[in-house]
Every structure is written in C-alpha cells, then in structure tokens.
Structure 1
Amino acid sequence: MANITFSHPEYKDKTVYAVAGSHTDTILKIAKENKIPIAFNCQDGECGTCLVKVTHLSDGKEKGGPLTDKEITVLKGLGKITQEQVDEMAVTDMDHPWRLACQMIVRDEDLRVEYGVE
C-alpha cells in the first residue's frame, strides 16, 4: 500500500491509499477515482495539462520509476527539465520532481503530489 497526499494551494490536502504494483494505476487514475481535481486533457502524455510535482516521502529512496519518453519531451517543452538532467538521470537512476500524472505509475512508496502549481 502507498499513501498519496494530494496537495493544491487552494484546497485542503487529501491523503488516499493506493494499491502499489498494479503497473496500471497512474497518479491521474487514482486522483480521478478519489475525486481529486487534477486538470487533464489527452491522458496520453502529450499535452502536459496534468503536470504535477512529486515528492517521495518513503525512506528517502526514490523509486518513482523512470520518466517516459513522452514525459521527457513534454517536460522539456514546458521548461521543467533539461537534457543535462535527463542524461544525469540515465546514469544515476534519480527521479525528477516534475511528472505527468497520466504517465507516472504508483509504486510502493508514500508520495506528496502537488497539482495546480507551475
């Protein structure tokens, strides 16, 4: 089980429990199931509407999984990531705080997901 705390500047934080390891439960899917109003359009990682900032709260070891190719392209276009950071992540396995909610799969770790922030 993973605890995901959704945070928005204008709403009270809401923590939900998510089943980790399904390999299909994205942040966006969990948000929709729990009536968390994360904005989205394409749901396919191409528009960037569902941009979120993710903080890993579990034991300090980030396990969020690698950025998808779609995420890298969109995040670069939004100015949230540089090619240098992409290259460094490929070597160090570090995660990046900016993600697309429709692309990030939930793993067995507690997360803080900030939405509605730029």
Structure 2
Amino acid sequence: MPNVTFSSPLLHKDVTVYAVAGDTKTILAVAEANKIPIPFECKDGNCGSCLVEVITLTGKTMGSMLTDKEKDLLKSLGKITAEDIRRAEVEDIAPRWRSACQYIVRDQDILVKFSGAPGSA
C-alpha cells in the first residue's frame, strides 16, 4: 500500500495517508476520503483548479496515464512540455505537475503539494 503525503499551507502539518494501489482512486478521491482540502471545480480534468505537484518518494517513478484533456490543460498552463508527454507515454515517467482529479495513485509513496488556491500548486 502506498503512502500519500499531502503538503499545503492550508494544513497545520503534512498529512500522510495510506492508499490502496490498484483500486483506481485518484489523488483527489484519496484527498476527499481523508478530508484533505484540495480545491476542485469539475472533477473532469477540464478546469485546472485541482493542480498539484507530485513528487515520488520511493522506488522507480511510475507514470499515471495522462488523459488528452489533462495534456491539453497542462500544456496551456505551461506546466508540461511535449518532451514531458513523450516521457510519460514512452518511458512511464510521470510529469511533476498533474490534475489531482486525473492522477491515479499507483504502488509508490508520493508527496502531493498544493497551494490551496484553485489552479495553483
């Protein structure tokens, strides 16, 4: 089971929770289940309000598939490049910036940073 640590100025201190790898829960779903206040509006990958920075803490970095919506959104925000997308698709290396509603937690410990302001990590 992976540990997901949430870090934000909105939290009194970092919060680490256990997630079940393979149950297809997104970072946003894990956050909601544990009352972590990641801002969101649509939960569909269209708005960018749940932008987070994801840092792998243990093991090999494993990507979580970028949806077409997420690719377009993150490119428009200047958070990913064509090379980041290629590495995600070919080498299974996740980009640092993600939409919490789209990133599916995998079997690795991660740190999720967010500012608390919609669309800003």
Could you say whether these structures have the same fold, taking a TM-score greater than 0.5 normalized by the shorter chain as the test? yes
Q: Which residue of 2 aligns with 1:19?
A: 20
Structure 2 stretches of 5 or more lacking a match? none
CA deviation string 1:46-95 (max 9, x = no partner): 00000000001112x11132212111111011110122332344333321
User: Do residues 97 (structure 1) and 112 (structure 2) align?
Assistant: no
Over residues 14-41 of structure 1, what are the superposed CA-to-partner deviations in whole Å (9 max), with x where a residue is unaligned? 0001111012x10000101111000000
Residue 3 of structure 1 corresponds to 3
> Structure 1 regions of 5+ residues with no counterpart?
none
CA drift at 1:10:
4.3
Say which SS state the counterpart of residue 71 (structure 1) adopts: helix
- Partner Cα separation in structure 2 for residue 88 and residue 54 of structure 1: 16
State the percentage of identical aligned residues: 54
**Contact map agreement 1:64 1:106 (CA 8 A) in 2:** no
CA distance in 1, matches of 2:63, 2:84: 16
Structure 1 residues 89 and 21, CA gap change in structure 2 (3 angstroms): closer
- Residue of structure 2 equivalent to 1:81: 80
TM-score (norm 2): 0.88
2:66 is aligned with 1:67: yes
Q: Could you say which structure has the higher strand fraction?
A: 1
Q: Secondary structure at the match of 1:85?
A: helix
Q: CA RMSD in A?
A: 1.4
Equivalent position amino acid for 1:20 in 2? A
